[in-house]
Amino acid sequence: MPHSPLIRMFNARAHLTPDEEAALRSLPMQVRAIKAKQNVVREGDRPTRSFALLEGNACTYQNLDSGNRQIMAFHVPGDVPDLQSLHLSYLDHSVGTVGPCTVGFIDHADLQRICRDFPRIAAGLWRLTLIDACIFRAWISNLGARKADSRAAHLICETVVRMDAAGQVENGRLSWPVTQADLADALGISIVHVNRTLTQLRTAGLMTLQRGTLTVSDWPRLKDLGEFGSEYLHLSSDKDHSRPELN
């Protein structure tokens, strides 16, 4: 059961043979619960294992000398946020929990073994890191070329689609325990302006984000405002067609 989010993540993007799925399920994994707002790994670490996020929400961030924190990714169940440490010893970023989480640690040795024995799993993991890179590029465009409201809308759209692929969305509603301070660090705007921007989106009837619950009320206009298209997430099922209730 603990491996399910990982399997789901794979299956949303590639196709596993029964052999491969069995191999993944038999990966030794040390499962641990982690409280909200804790670091799982820290910039500068040289981990000997990676971890899969099994439940809850986490984020990847960097602390700058100037004291600012920049969040560069939010993670959904099934993600393996520090998979890169398998090939790059020096970790360039920290990963922290947003709300309470369950994570599963997997030794690099076991990952290496499964990659050797199942080349298609190795290719699949590579693929996952390439999709992460697509998401990073989308964030670069978001931060560099959009203004605050559009930027927020794009982030929210991305979150909804990814959380949906992870099976966390019901009736356009999902649990997303980010604070406005977190959003400020992710969007590169001040906390005060996050508040004003969210108020504006809510008043316009696009969505609400209150007490950790995100509700989308007008998906088409939200998509439009955020110039959002889901292709870059490389999910085989296009949300727009498979989940008409969000249209």
- Asked if 192 interacts with DNA (CB under 7 A), we say yes
Sign of CA dihedral 210, 212, 218, 221: positive
- Asked if 11 interacts with a copy of itself (CB under 8 A), we say no
Least spacing, CB of residue 84 vs a copy of itself, in Å: 5
Rounded to the nearest angstrom, the gap between the alpha carbon of residue 32 and the centroid of all alpha carbons in its chain is: 19
DSSP secondary structure, 21-54, as one string: HHHHHTS--EEEEE-TT-EEE-TT---SEEEEEE
Phi first, then psi, for residue 102 (nearest 5°) are -120, 130
- Asked if 204 interacts with a copy of itself (CB under 8 A), we say no
The nearer residue to a copy of itself, 123 or 181, going by C-beta atoms, is 123
CA distance 153 to 215: 12
Stretch that binds DNA, among 8-16, 21-29, 107-115, 178-186 (CB under 7 A): 178-186
Locate tokens 């960097």: which residue? 62
CA distance 187 to 70: 8
- Asked if 134 interacts with a copy of itself (CB under 8 A), we say yes
Three-class DSSP category at 69: strand
**Binding flags for a copy of itself, 146-185, as an x/- string (CB under 8 A):** x---x-----------------------------------
First to last CA, the chain: 33
- Asked if 191 interacts with DNA (CB under 7 A), we say yes
By CB under 8 A, name the binding residues for a copy of itself: 60, 62, 64-66, 68-70, 72, 84, 87-88, 90, 92-93, 116, 119, 122-123, 126-127, 129-134, 136-141, 143-146, 150, 186-188, 227, 231-232, 234
Q: Which residues bind DNA (CB under 7 A)?
A: 37, 147-149, 179-181, 188-193, 195-196, 198-199, 210-211
